[in-house]
Amino acid sequence: MNINWFKKKYTKADLKDKDYKWAYSKSKGYYIGMKLVFAIEYPSLKPLAVLVFPGGPSDSKIFDEIVTELMRRKILGKGDSFVLDKGFYAYRHYIECLTEYGIVPLIFPRINFKLEKVLNHIQLTLDFFNDNLSRVKEKIRHLETILAEFKHYILNWKQLKPKRSLIEDVFKVIKGTFSLSRIHRFTLASITKIASLGVGVPRKLINRRVKIPLLCCLPVSVQKPIVAGCPS
């Protein structure tokens, strides 16, 4: 799909029924496209999954959908650690991961992060105790385990930055190999299909046990990015 910027301008209304939307990223400026989310394991750096979202929704808004989908595919399981950058930062994400999903949310914190604010909001519902005694004790032990791991890593989160840089390198390779930054496909299905090659091919070349899923997001433009304001 070749869009001639000089002959026709595209507004948000023009793209209402399209899978691609106007969006913005710090690296690309305003663009028309979608967002790809890759999950990659550590330490093998094996790609695990790719998710595609219309336009460029903020990472925080698609957090629940990402976690739910990765758990549905059994890529992410109870007790696993999940490394994400500051784009996913929100206190509720820490709390939901620990209490609802049973995973360790290693979301890079912002400068004003307070661990006590997370811990003070760890409240167990009546449903948590609506089980036999041995099962309740097992769930409590699990919660204590992931809380201890969470506190340890979140207080030393800068030690995770080298791991995060590794995933960026892998992501750049996938992005360059499959030309994902300027892809000439324009539906969620077609982009998911080509992006899945970026997961499937490297995955076949790597055969190690899953350790820690990490996440990286990529804005995908379907036409030349612009630096001017987004048309309304």
Residue 22, domain member (yes or no)? yes
Mean pLDDT of 133-151: 94
Q: How confident is the model at residue 202 (pLDDT cuts 50, 70, 90)?
A: low
Predicted confidence at residue 132, as pLDDT, reads 92
Distance from C-alpha of 2 to C-alpha of 187, rounded to nearest angstrom: 15
By the 8 A CB rule, do 93 and 105 touch? yes
Residues with Cβ < 8 Å from 228, sequence gap 6 or more? 30
pLDDT reported for residue 21? 80
**73 within domain boundaries:** yes
26 pLDDT higher than 80: no
Q: What angle do CA 61, 98, 124 make, to 5 degrees?
A: 110
Task: Answer yes or no: is 9 within a domain.
Answer: no
pLDDT number for residue 156? 94
Establish if 231 belongs to a structural domain: no
| 23-37, 44-58, 97-111, 145-159: range with lowest mean pLDDT | 23-37
- Maximum CA extent, the chain: 70
Residue 139 lies in a domain: yes
Mean pLDDT, the chain, as a whole number? 79
Instruction: Let me know if residue 164 belongs to a domain.
Output: yes
Give the lowest-confidence range in 14-23, 25-34, 218-227.
218-227
Residue 33 lies in a domain: yes
Predicted confidence at residue 7, as pLDDT, reads 65
Within-domain flag for 228 = no
Domain that holds residue 209: 18-221
Per-residue pLDDT at 14: 80
Long-range pairs for 164-169: beta carbons < 8 A, 24 or more residues apart: 164/83, 164/85, 164/108, 164/214, 166/42, 166/45, 167/40, 167/42, 167/45, 167/214, 167/216, 168/216
Calculate mean pLDDT across residues 25-37: 77
Residues 32, 226: Cα–Cα separation, whole Å:
9
Helices and strands in the chain: count of H runs, count of E runs: 7, 6
Are the CB atoms for 146 and 103 separated by under 8 Å?
yes
Residue 46 pLDDT more than 50? yes
- Our count of domains for the chain comes to 1
Is residue 43 reached through a cis peptide bond, with omega within 30 degrees of 0 on the bond before it? yes
